[in-house]
Structure 1
Amino acid sequence: MLRIEQLTKTFGRNTAVDRATIEVDRPIMLGIIGRSGAGKSTLLRMLNRLTPQSSGQVYFEDREITALKGAEMRAWQADCAMIFQQFNLVPRMDVVSNVLHGTLNRRSVLATMFNLFPQSDIHRAIDILERLGIAEHAPKRAEALSGGQQQRVAIARALMQDPRIILADEPIASLDPMNAQVVMDTLRRIHEEDGRMVIANLHTLDTARRYCDRVVGMRDGRIVFDGTPQQLTTGVARDIYGADAGFSEAATSTAIETLDATQRAEIDAARVTV
């Protein structure tokens, strides 16, 4: 379904991604882990064609994505939606309009200039917000929402594109443990209920083990691990992160054991609505 062959990106003398090769034969939730600077974000940006590769190819259903140009490349970027760590919303714009921006790739220049959306798209945007448990915030400015709520708005915007693949670049890195769990629950349910492939860059081992069907580990631009969550032992993690015997998984944890009963109840309520 998705085939990455010897994908490489260099910046001058520095190699950000070094001959990455991954093959995925069905829609799964794939986690990519590694320390900062390992090449995770660059890899996702090449998949989405935001960053051109230096060499190598990407194929989706036997179509070479890295050869696409112009309108065909833009169509692929609609099929391969990106979610970013910093949300990339328009802060002073209302939530539903931010979600509707997921349709910009298929709208005319005139409609975009005057912010004109068909009623069918508006209803669909609200339905998606309802699915993600934040429909009541639709008329609010995006900047008025919490970080976790803003990230769910960003996910809703991605869903407006009706993508085949969702790429999430450190989607919980700037969130507290409670909101991180709600966002990851959301991505997992989208994968399971919609049958969409989700590829997420993650810093944390516990998150990768809990939510992902498969985990890829990157170190210095190279893939050094590709296996199941069960195979992601502490020893393997130590190698991925380039750590010594003193490495502790607690340093990468997003566990919520320290949250109080009220916060746990809020997470359980959010799971019901997601």
Structure 2
Amino acid sequence: MLDVENVTKEFGATRAVDRVSFAVERPGFIGIIGRSGAGKSTFLRMVNRLTDATTGAIRFRGRDVLALKGAEKRAWQSDCAMIFQQFNLVPRMDVVSNVLHGTLNRRSALATFFNLYPAEDIHRAIDILDRLGIAEQAAKRAEALSGGQQQRVAIARALMQDPQIILADEPIASLDPMNAQVVMDALRRIHEEDGRMVIANLHTLDTARRYCDRVIGMRDGRIVFDGTPEQLTTGVARDIYGADASFSEAATSTSLARLDRPARAKETELL
């Protein structure tokens, strides 16, 4: 389905992404991990065509998406939805209108200007919100929702595009552990139930192991690991993050159980 061939992105003398190559044969849930500055976000932005590559090719079902222009490029961005760390919602707009923004690429400029949507799109938006457990928030302003709810609105907006690929750039980085779990559960369920490919940039190893079918590790713009979650050992993680023997996975964990353990230990001491 997806073939990435020697993709490189240079910013002046800096090579943010360095000859990245891999292939995806069927829809999967793929996690890309690595420290900040490893090139993860730049790579996803190239796939979505928010950023142009310097060299290389990204082929989806045989078509090089890096060569698309104009209407074909916009159509690809509908097929390849993007979810961001900071949600990118319109704060003062109601939730259902934010979700309906997922249809902008296929609507006329006049309809967009007057905020006119077909009834079937409105019903579909509410159905998607219901699927994500937040239909009761449809009439509220986006800014009134919690971070986890806002990220689910962003996922709903992506689903309104009916994409073949969902790209998620650090979707849980700004969320607490409970909301992080809800968001990742939602993305995994969408992958399994809809058969959509999901590629997510992640910081935490436990999240990658729990939700991903395949994990790609990036360091200094290059792929240094490509394997199953079971192959993502602590030693491999040290190499990906460029860490020494003092590296502790607990420091990157989003697990509720792990985070709660120090609190329980403290309670035991007090008793």
TM range (shorter): over 0.9
Residue aligned with 1:225, SS = strand
Per the alignment, residue 104 of structure 2 pairs with 104
Give the C-alpha shift of residue 259 in structure 1.
Answer: 5.1
Per the alignment, residue 208 of structure 2 pairs with 208
Whole-angstrom distance in 2 between the partners of 1:124 and 1:139: 15
Give the C-alpha shift of residue 22 in structure 1.
Answer: 1.1
Give the C-alpha shift of residue 251 in structure 1.
Answer: 1.1
Q: How does 1:224-263 map to 2 (within 5 A)?
A: 224-257=224-257, 258=259
Per the alignment, residue 43 of structure 1 pairs with 43
Residue aligned with 2:4, SS = strand
Per the alignment, residue 7 of structure 1 pairs with 7
Whole-angstrom distance in 1 between the partners of 2:23 and 2:43: 14
Q: Does 1:176 align with 2:147?
A: no
Normalised to the residue count of structure 2, the TM-score between the two structures is 0.95
Per the alignment, residue 27 of structure 1 pairs with 27
Whole-angstrom distance in 2 between the partners of 1:58 and 1:103: 25
Whole-angstrom distance in 1 between the partners of 2:195 and 2:260: 32
Whole-angstrom distance in 1 between the partners of 2:157 and 2:67: 26
Whole-angstrom distance in 1 between the partners of 2:132 and 2:246: 40
Residue aligned with 1:153, SS = helix
Residue aligned with 1:254, SS = coil
Partner deviation per Cα, 1:65-92 (whole Å, 9 max, x = no partner): 1111000000000000000000000000
Partner deviation per Cα, 1:183-240 (whole Å, 9 max, x = no partner): 0000000000000000000000000000000000000000000000000000000000
Q: Which amino acid aligns with 1:76?
A: W
Per the alignment, residue 135 of structure 2 pairs with 135
Which ranges of structure 2 fall in alignment gaps of 5 or more residues?
A: 262-271
Whole-angstrom distance in 2 between the partners of 1:208 and 1:22: 18
State the identity as a percent: 80
Normalised to the residue count of structure 1, the TM-score between the two structures is 0.94
Whole-angstrom distance in 2 between the partners of 1:80 and 1:176: 27
Q: How does 1:113-192 map to 2 (within 5 A)?
A: 113-192=113-192
Residue aligned with 2:256, SS = coil
Whole-angstrom distance in 2 between the partners of 1:62 and 1:108: 29
Whole-angstrom distance in 1 between the partners of 2:145 and 2:67: 39
How many matched pairs? Answer: 260
Whole-angstrom distance in 2 between the partners of 1:132 and 1:253: 24
Per the alignment, residue 91 of structure 1 pairs with 91
Whole-angstrom distance in 1 between the partners of 2:196 and 2:123: 22
Partner deviation per Cα, 1:105-143 (whole Å, 9 max, x = no partner): 000000000000000000000000000000000000000
Whole-angstrom distance in 2 between the partners of 1:223 and 1:143: 37
Whole-angstrom distance in 2 between the partners of 1:235 and 1:217: 13
Give the C-alpha shift of residue 63 in structure 1.
Answer: 0.8
Q: Which amino acid aligns with 1:149?
A: Q
Whole-angstrom distance in 2 between the partners of 1:216 and 1:259: 29
| Runs of 4+ more than 4 Å apart | none
Residue aligned with 1:251, SS = helix
Whole-angstrom distance in 2 between the partners of 1:252 and 1:23: 28
